[in-house]
């Protein structure tokens, strides 16, 4: 608690009531009670102007991009490429050609594994990943390692869910080629020192891929300040739509990488006699018709979140976390997993004598949405001797009153299952 309370909360405050007005879904009832949505790390809700972007696109200028010469195609292309520029600004990337649209974080990481990894990793090389990783930053590397024979080494975490930085330094060898680590852990909320990790990786001649799925909704991200080589995130966790995400890659790296998926859009020429040549970045990595409306709506979401201010959002979520931590700590037999200093708005816990799944199902009956399960972080949970936790995760529109409703509902539900 004390460590939690030390985080800077001087950032400007949010007008949460006004923010809530922008999210139509927050007005709905679940099982006859007002929805209390605390599953934001799984997916965040969507403000009206992001929903409106779909209506506008399909109602006014639905057309395929980059190929047509007609007005609708021009408008759609301009909006799509406008989103790329918005993402560039959002991440403070140097060049919009460094922004590749994917289906999400998972596809972005698979792109790096399959395009960069296949071209640059070989038997005996080493890739460092952390025990805090989501499966989407583990399994692509395992799949590739089983084919290419490189070695995956795991950065350990301590009992708070904090990466062991001394062990991290020790893991490097002259065969280390890549560090793949999340910026914020989805299961525990740990904020990893990715800037420091990047500096260490670079000093050792390795690259760093940062999974930013849980960071982009909660704090400003500057890929140049971090000095990330690759940075991935998903639209649906940052008030945007599903089906779209981003891979940022340093231009020189992307230019040197072979394409991953082949098809339309990513080629320059195709010939049966001479084979194919490929488009410049970013198009080389965007085969086929992309999720046009989703990309445009993502741009709208990022403009929305930047307008509200990520410093203010992070500070507000911290208040919610402190309040929630105090409230649930009063519950007998409840153990919080993930107690890293300065952690983000994620509260993971287990309760003696009550299975997480039962808690999740029953608390839903009281209108409260939390996530229960392994959170796609099985290696992390295994270290803590559990196969599931309950997880409440916060967003800009959550209120202190909602936290109180959650804590009361939780107390009631635990009384029922014990």
CB atoms within 10 A of CB 122: 12
Which of 214, 216, 339, 348 touches ligand C6P (CB under 6 A)? 214
**Looking at beta carbons only, is 186 or 389 nearer to ligand C6P?**
186
With CB under 6 A as the contact rule, which of the stretches 3-11, 28-36, 210-218, 302-310 interacts with ligand C6P?
Answer: 210-218
Query: What is d(CA 241, CA 263) in angstroms, rounded to the nearest whole number?
Result: 25
Active site residue 376: yes
CB atoms within 10 A of CB 237: 26
Shortest Cβ distance from residue 393 to ligand C6P (Å)? 8
Residues 178-197 that bind ligand C6P (CB under 6 A): 182, 186
Residues 231-250 that bind ligand C6P (CB under 6 A): 234, 245
Told to check if 376 binds ligand C6P by CB under 6 A, we report yes
Query: What is d(CA 218, CA 236) in angstroms, rounded to the nearest whole number?
Result: 13
DSSP bridge pairs for 208: 179
Q: HSE of 153 in the Cβ direction (CA atoms, 13 Å)?
A: 18
**Looking at beta carbons only, is 187 or 328 nearer to ligand C6P?**
187
- Catalytic residue (choose from 4, 42, 376, 386): 376
Q: Smallest Cα–Cα separation from 180: which of 223, 245, 114, 230?
A: 230
Query: What is d(CA 244, CA 261) in angstroms, rounded to the nearest whole number?
Result: 16
Residues 34-63 that bind ligand C6P (CB under 6 A): 41-42
Which of 77, 110, 130, 136 touches ligand C6P (CB under 6 A)? 136
Shortest Cβ distance from residue 68 to ligand C6P (Å)? 30
The 3-class secondary structure across 254-273, one letter per residue, is: HHHCCCCCCCCCCEEEEECC
Measuring CA to CA, how many Å separate 69 from each of 58, 77, 97? 18, 10, 22
Q: Which residues have C-beta within 8 Å of that of residue 367, sequence separation ≥ 6? A: 29, 30, 31, 32, 33, 34, 35, 36, 405, 409
Residues 105-134 that bind ligand C6P (CB under 6 A): 105-106, 134
> 176-182 and 126-130: which strand pairing?
parallel
Residues 311-370 that bind ligand C6P (CB under 6 A): none
Size of the site for ligand C6P (CB under 6 A): 17
Shortest Cβ distance from residue 251 to ligand C6P (Å)? 24
Which of 296, 375, 394, 396 touches ligand C6P (CB under 6 A)? 375
Told to check if 213 binds ligand C6P by CB under 6 A, we report yes
**Looking at beta carbons only, is 380 or 414 nearer to ligand C6P?**
380
The 3-class secondary structure across 310-343, one letter per residue, is: HHHHHHHHHHHHHHHHHHHHCCCCEEEECCCCCC
Which residues are near ligand C6P by CB under 6 A?
Answer: 41-42, 104-106, 134, 136, 182, 186, 211, 213-214, 234, 245, 371, 375-376
């Amino acid at each position: 608690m004390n460590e939690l309370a030390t985080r800077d909360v001087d950032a400007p405050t949010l007008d949460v009531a006004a923010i809530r007005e922008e999210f139509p879904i927050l007005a709905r009832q679940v099982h006859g009670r007002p929805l209390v949505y605390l599953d934001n790390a799984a997916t965040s809700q969507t403000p009206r102007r992001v929903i409106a972007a779909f209506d506008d696109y399909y109602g006014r200028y639905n057309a395929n991009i980059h190929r047509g010469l007609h007005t609708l195609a021009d408008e759609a292309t301009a909006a799509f490429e406008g989103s790329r520029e918005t993402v560039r600004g959002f991440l403070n990337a140097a060049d919009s050609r460094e922004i590749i649209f994917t289906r999400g974080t998972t596809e972005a990481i698979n792109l790096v594994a399959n395009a960069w990894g296949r071209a640059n990793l070989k038997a005996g090389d080493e890739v460092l990943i952390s025990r805090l990783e989501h499966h989407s930053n583990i399994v692509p590397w395992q799949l590739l390692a089983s084919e290419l024979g490189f070695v995956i080494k795991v950065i350990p975490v301590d009992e708070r869910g904090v990466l062991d930085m001394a062990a991290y330094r020790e893991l490097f060898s002259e065969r280390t080629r890549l560090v793949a680590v999340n910026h914020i852990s989805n299961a525990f909320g740990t904020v990893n020192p990715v800037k420091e990790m990047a500096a260490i990786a670079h000093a050792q001649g390795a690259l760093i891929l940062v999974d930013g799925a849980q960071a982009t909704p909660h704090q400003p991200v500057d890929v140049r300040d971090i000095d990330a080589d690759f940075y991935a995130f998903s639209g649906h966790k940052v008030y945007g739509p599903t089906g779209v995400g981003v891979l940022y890659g340093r231009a020189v790296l992307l230019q040197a990488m072979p394409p991953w998926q082949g098809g339309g859009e990513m080629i320059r020429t195709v010939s049966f006699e001479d084979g194919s040549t490929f488009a410049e970045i970013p198009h080389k990595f965007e085969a086929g018709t992309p999720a046009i409306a989703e990309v445009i709506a993502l741009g709208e979401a990022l403009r929305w979140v930047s307008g509200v201010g990520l410093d203010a959002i992070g500070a507000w979520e911290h208040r919610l976390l402190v309040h929630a931590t105090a409230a649930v700590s009063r519950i007998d037999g409840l153990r919080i997993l993930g107690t890293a200093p300065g952690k983000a708005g994620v509260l993971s816990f287990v309760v003696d004598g009550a299975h997480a799944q039962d808690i999740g199902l029953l608390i839903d009956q009281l209108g409260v949405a939390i996530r229960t399960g392994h959170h796609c972080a099985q290696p992390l949970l295994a270290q803590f001797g559990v196969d599931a936790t309950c997880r409440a995760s916060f967003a800009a529109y959550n209120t202190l009153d909602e936290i109180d409703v959650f804590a009361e509902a939780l107390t009631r539900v635990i009384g029922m299952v014990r």
